[in-house]
Amino acid sequence: MKKRIALLLSILLTLSLTALAGCASKQDGGSDSSSGKVYYLQFKPEQDQQWQDLAKAYTKETGVPVTVVTAAEGTYESTLKNEITKSNAPTLFQVNGPVGLANWKPYCYNLKNTALYQQLTSPEFALKEGDTVYGIAYVIETYGIIYNKTLLQKYFDASWSSIKALNGIKDYNTFATVVREIQQHKKDLGIAGAFTSSGMDSSSDWRFKTHLANMPLYYEYVKDGITSTAAVKGTYLDNYRTVWDLYLDNATVPRTQIASKTGTDAETEFATGKAVFYQNGTWAVNAVTGDGKLSADELGILPIYIGVEGEEKQGLCTGSENYWCVNSKASKADIQATLDFLEWVVTSDTGTTALAEEMEFTVPFKKAKESVNPLVKIADQMIKDGKTPVKWVFSTMPSEAWKNGVGAALTAYAQGTGQWKDLETAFINGWKTEYQKVHG
């Protein structure tokens, strides 16, 4: 008898497991098919919490379920690739620009006739081809060289400094002078180095292989009067090298050690006043301000000068690599729910407040509130002062593999285990090779 009970129990266990499996997922699919739902797969971990909160607020207000998932670092593309073919696919995802879009076009809903598109302050913030609007930029970001105002003021006030005010820094040479003098007198200033560590770990290497590489690329495009290319010439690579050397030789750590330094390291060095300069952008403010860190009004930002003729007029690097795309293969109800959600985000008081004050975004929408981000304010002021913003042309870089090659060459050069000509090969020849691979 006992055995029979045991037998029965074991069958029950097997059945219940399979049944539960079936039920659990049936409930997911069944309950919301009528009203539509939103599943947002996003790739900015620093804003994960804010999106979660915003999603909750929307669900509370409208009853429409919104799920926000942030993909782990370096895995966004593969996660998206994997998720998008599932039955519960993301209804809202991101691409980083025209290159990213190329893969995802078949999955992009045409946003031309949507309220979201109408809300854009200018059509230039949309990813368009002819009449089709594939994606819409939702955040405009700016980067440059963030500096610690208190420490820099100490430098200006010091007896040994040769530049005495902020307006004395107007091109590469003047900036390099400041950097070198600070590095020489780092003990007097009580710091570990002029620059934070240029970490080439994957949590930080994008600052140099992508964002810094934007500078030589931008000037080449300007000189040649183009906006993208199949074969880059590398006209300003020597300037790239000069700036890279400046970062490496005047930093908190020896140049041989950057490979294992992380984004957190640089962030901590800057936040605790161990370094004066930190190449990063508006998104980094939250991480370096707060208790035991800097205060928001201690932050300033300078353009990245690389020693090009006429760079006194150059401003900060401003652009977007964050475009919203709506999954065209989602159900009609889900697409509508997603569009409604997005409209709410960019027009409602809750939404615009969250964007401007929680995420500190500058957004290109008509009803946008002013961002509280201190660096955004400086960037706006620079534009008013007649400085020309540097465009984000890194979105035209042919592939991730290209960026990785450049990053590896930067690291090897820094460590002394590789030559600069390897970087030139990776940059120029690699561009052509990767471009051909991508474009067939």
Partner 1 sequence: MSAHALTRPRRARKGNLAGSLLTVFFSLLSVAYVFPVALIFINSLKSKAAISAAPFALPDAGSFVGITNFLNGIASGSYPFYRSVLYSFFITLASTLLILLCTGMCAWYINRVNSRICRLFYLLCAVSMVVPFQTVMYTLPQVANRLHLDNPYGITVIYLGFGAGLAVFLFSGFVRSMPAEIEEAALIDGCTPPQTYFRVVLPILRPTVISVSILELMWIWNDYLLPYMVLDRTQYMTIPIQIQYLNAGYGQTDIGAMMAMIVFSIIPIVVFYLVGQKGIVSGIIAGAVKG
Partner 2 sequence: MADRNAALTPAAPLTPPKKRKKAKQPLKRYAVFFFLPTAAAFTLAFLAPFLWGIFLSFCEFFTITDATWIGLDNYRRALQDVGFLYSFGFSALFTLVTVVLINVAAFFVAYALTRKIRGSNLFRTVFFMPNLIGGIVLGFIWQILLNGLLGLYGTSLAASTAYGFWGLVLLTAWQQIGYMMIIYISGLQNVPHTMLEAAKIDGATSWQTLRKVIIPQVRPSITICTFLTLTNSFKLYDQNAALTPNSLPYKILEDGSHIKTTATIAKNIVDQFNENYFGTDGIAQAKSILFFLVVVVIALLQLYFTRKKEESA
Contact positions vs partner 2 (CB under 8 A): 14, 74-75, 77-78, 81, 84-85, 100, 102-103, 106, 200, 202, 205, 254, 256-257, 259-260, 399-401, 404-405, 407-409, 411-412, 415, 417-418, 422-423, 425-434, 437-438, 440
Name the token pair of 323.
């475009």
Which part of the chain contacts partner 1 (CB under 8 A), choosing from 41-49, 122-130, 153-161, 304-312? Answer: 41-49
Instruction: Give how far Cα 293 sits from Cα of 252, 272, 282, 289, 361, Å.
Output: 18, 6, 16, 5, 21
| Residue 222 binding: pick among partner 2, partner 1, none (C-beta 5-8 Å cut-off by kind) | none
| Residue 17 binding: pick among partner 2, partner 1, none (C-beta 5-8 Å cut-off by kind) | partner 1
Q: Which residues pair with 390 in a beta bridge?
A: 317
**Cβ 275 to partner 1 shortest distance, Å:** 13
Q: Site mask, partner 1, residues 170-209, x = CB under 8 A?
A: --------------------------------xxx-x---
| Residue 415 binding: pick among partner 2, partner 1, none (C-beta 5-8 Å cut-off by kind) | partner 2
Helix (H, G, I), strand (E, B) or coil at 392: coil
Count residues near partner 1 (CB under 8 A).
54
Residues whose CB falls within 8 Å of the CB of residue 352, separated by 6 or more in sequence, listed in order:
345, 346, 363, 365, 367, 368, 369
**Cβ 71 to partner 1 shortest distance, Å:** 8
Window 245-274: residues binding partner 1 (CB under 8 A): 261-268, 272
Name the token pair of 31.
């309950």
**Cβ count within 10 A of residue 367:** 13
Q: Site mask, partner 1, residues 67-106, x = CB under 8 A?
A: xxxx-xxx----x--xx-xxxx------------------
Q: Is the dihedral of CA 77, 78, 82, 85 positive or negative?
A: positive
Q: What is the DSSP letter of 96?
A: -
Radius of gyration for the alpha carbons in the chain, expressed in angstroms and rounded: 25
Q: Is the dihedral of CA 97, 103, 105, 111 positive or negative?
A: negative
Residue 245 CA to residue 307 CA, distance in Å, equals 13
Residue 10 CA to residue 165 CA, distance in Å, equals 80
Q: Site mask, partner 1, residues 272-291, x = CB under 8 A?
A: x-------x--xx--x----
Helix (H, G, I), strand (E, B) or coil at 329: coil
Among 12, 13, 226, 230, binds partner 1 (CB under 8 A): 13
| Residue 6 binding: pick among partner 1, partner 2, none (C-beta 5-8 Å cut-off by kind) | partner 1
| Residue 3 binding: pick among partner 1, partner 2, none (C-beta 5-8 Å cut-off by kind) | partner 1
Residue number, 348 or 429, with CB nearest to partner 2: 429
77 CB burial (10 A radius; 0-12, 13-18, 19+): middle
Which strand (E) or helix (H) includes residue 351? helix 349-353
| Residue 26 binding: pick among partner 1, partner 2, none (C-beta 5-8 Å cut-off by kind) | partner 1
Residues that bind partner 1 (CB under 8 A): 3-4, 6-7, 10, 13-14, 17-18, 20-22, 24-26, 28, 39, 44-46, 48-49, 52, 67-70, 72-74, 79, 82-83, 85-88, 202-204, 206, 261-268, 272, 280, 283-284, 287
